[in-house]
Amino acid sequence: MAVADQRNRGTILALTGPAYLWLTVTIFLPLSAMLYCSFLDKSPLVPQPASLTLKHYAAFIERPVYQQLMLWSLELGAVVTICCLIIGYPAALALAKVIKGRWREAMFLMVVLPFWSNALVRTFSWTMVLRPGGLADQAIHVVAPDAPALNLLYSYPAVVVGLVHSYLPYMILTCYISLQAIDDSVIEAARSLGARSGALFRRVVFPMSLPGVLAGSALIFVPAVGSFMEPRILGGAKGATLGMAVEEQFTVTANWPFGAALSFLMLGAVLLICLALYPAARKRMEGL
């Protein structure tokens, strides 16, 4: 690798410039603009000149309904993340340590295949299962014919199921990557030292896969807290989240500054939670 001298600098700039200029115009400047917007007393849509204010952040503190939404969203994010971990980790373990050869490749592909396919369409597909007369309803009536008609759609569980379905592949993917990096000889060494399966998992396998668990959790928690489309489709009016409130400020009430303030409060809360957990996580992962 060459250290940048004058001659290389031009090449580097020419190669990276276009991509980063693009990112600046479409990501970094917009985020800055949005932060600025959250301090404006009037929506940019109003032609009058606006001045700076903290009133939108104050509104969040003064109106308990938004604090409630924030709590619900964080709780929803936590529930979805934990569900993904409980369901995804054993699946990743099976993929990494039990299944071998061509089957592993095929099943891995099966897991990541929905990962990129349209989230909206996949959320919609759950309405087919959960609606009255849908697959879940039919299945229940096969087992218990006298049960009342089941309507799971537009409920909190439906939102959780939809979000878990959307984000589960993330967890399986990240856990799989760190699990398959564990050398089998380490496991054999633990066994030779007399570790039973339980202890082997608790003391060796799980701690070594922690980076994957944490990466997966972060990748799920952040977008789940900010979700609005899944709660709209699967939760209807009931599963209100902060994400839905932000969407409304931009599409319905056109109160952009308040929507922007809510967005940054949400980002701030998520960031605070991640930062609070970071030191403990880093300590457990020393040497990995």
Partner 1 sequence: MKLGSTLLTAHLWLVLAFLYVPIVVMAVLGFNASPLYALPFEFDPVWYRALTSNTKLIDAGIHSVGIAIVNTIIATTLGTMAALAFARYSFRGKTIMQLLLFPPIAIPWLVIGTAMLVFFFWIDIKRGLFAILLGHVALSLPYVIVVVGARLATFPHAVEEAAATLGATPWQTFRRVTAPLLAPGVIGGGLFAFAVSFDQFVISYFLAPAGVTTLPVEIYGAIRKGFTPEINAISTIIIVVSMGVLLLTARFYRFGGER
Return the residues of window 78-97 that contact partner 1 according to CB under 8 A.
87-88, 90-91, 93-95, 97
Task: Specify the residue, 140 or 229, whose C-beta has the smaller distance to partner 1.
Answer: 229
**CA gap 124, 129 in Å, rounded:** 9
**Chain centre distance of CA 7:** 43
Does position 70 bind partner 1 by CB under 8 A? Answer: no
Task: Specify the residue, 67 or 125, whose C-beta has the smaller distance to partner 1.
Answer: 125
Return the residues of window 114-143 that contact partner 1 according to CB under 8 A.
114, 116-122, 124-129, 131, 133-135, 138
195: phi then psi, degrees, rounded to nearest 5: -75, 130
Closest approach of partner 1 to the CB of residue 241, in Å? 10
Q: At what angle do helices 156-180 and 206-225 cross, to 10 degrees?
A: 140
Tokens matching residue 44: 């940019």
Closest approach of partner 1 to the CB of residue 26, in Å? 4
When binding is defined by CB under 8 A, the residue of 39, 60, 66, 108 that contacts partner 1 is 108
Tokens matching residue 40: 């404006």
Return the residues of window 207-226 that contact partner 1 according to CB under 8 A.
218-219, 222-223, 225-226
Return the residues of window 145-204 that contact partner 1 according to CB under 8 A.
165, 168-169, 172-173, 176-177, 180-181, 197
Task: Specify the residue, 18 or 207, whose C-beta has the smaller distance to partner 1.
Answer: 18
Tokens matching residue 1: 């690798």
Return the closest-CA partner of residue 266 out of 54, 80, 60, 36. Answer: 60
**CA gap 197, 221 in Å, rounded:** 30
Only segment of 1-9, 47-55, 59-67, 279-287 that touches partner 1 (CB under 8 A): 1-9
Tokens matching residue 43: 């929506």
Does position 113 bind partner 1 by CB under 8 A? Answer: yes
Closest approach of partner 1 to the CB of residue 181, in Å? 7
HSE value, Cβ hemisphere, 13 Å, CA-based, for 87: 16
Does position 68 bind partner 1 by CB under 8 A? Answer: no
Amino acid identity, residue 190?
Answer: A
Task: Specify the residue, 28 or 278, whose C-beta has the smaller distance to partner 1.
Answer: 28
Does position 60 bind partner 1 by CB under 8 A? Answer: no
**CA gap 111, 120 in Å, rounded:** 18
Closest approach of partner 1 to the CB of residue 25, in Å? 7
Does position 76 bind partner 1 by CB under 8 A? Answer: no
DSSP per position, 208-242? HHHHHHHHHHHHHHHHHHT--HHIIIIITTTS--H
**Chain centre distance of CA 269:** 14
Does position 71 bind partner 1 by CB under 8 A? Answer: no
Does position 56 bind partner 1 by CB under 8 A? Answer: no
Return the residues of window 25-44 that contact partner 1 according to CB under 8 A.
25-31, 33-34, 37, 44
Amino acid identity, residue 157?
Answer: P
Closest approach of partner 1 to the CB of residue 20, in Å? 7
SS3 letters for 240-265? CCHHHHHHHHHHCCCCHHHHHHHHHH
When binding is defined by CB under 8 A, the residue of 81, 209, 255, 263 that contacts partner 1 is 263
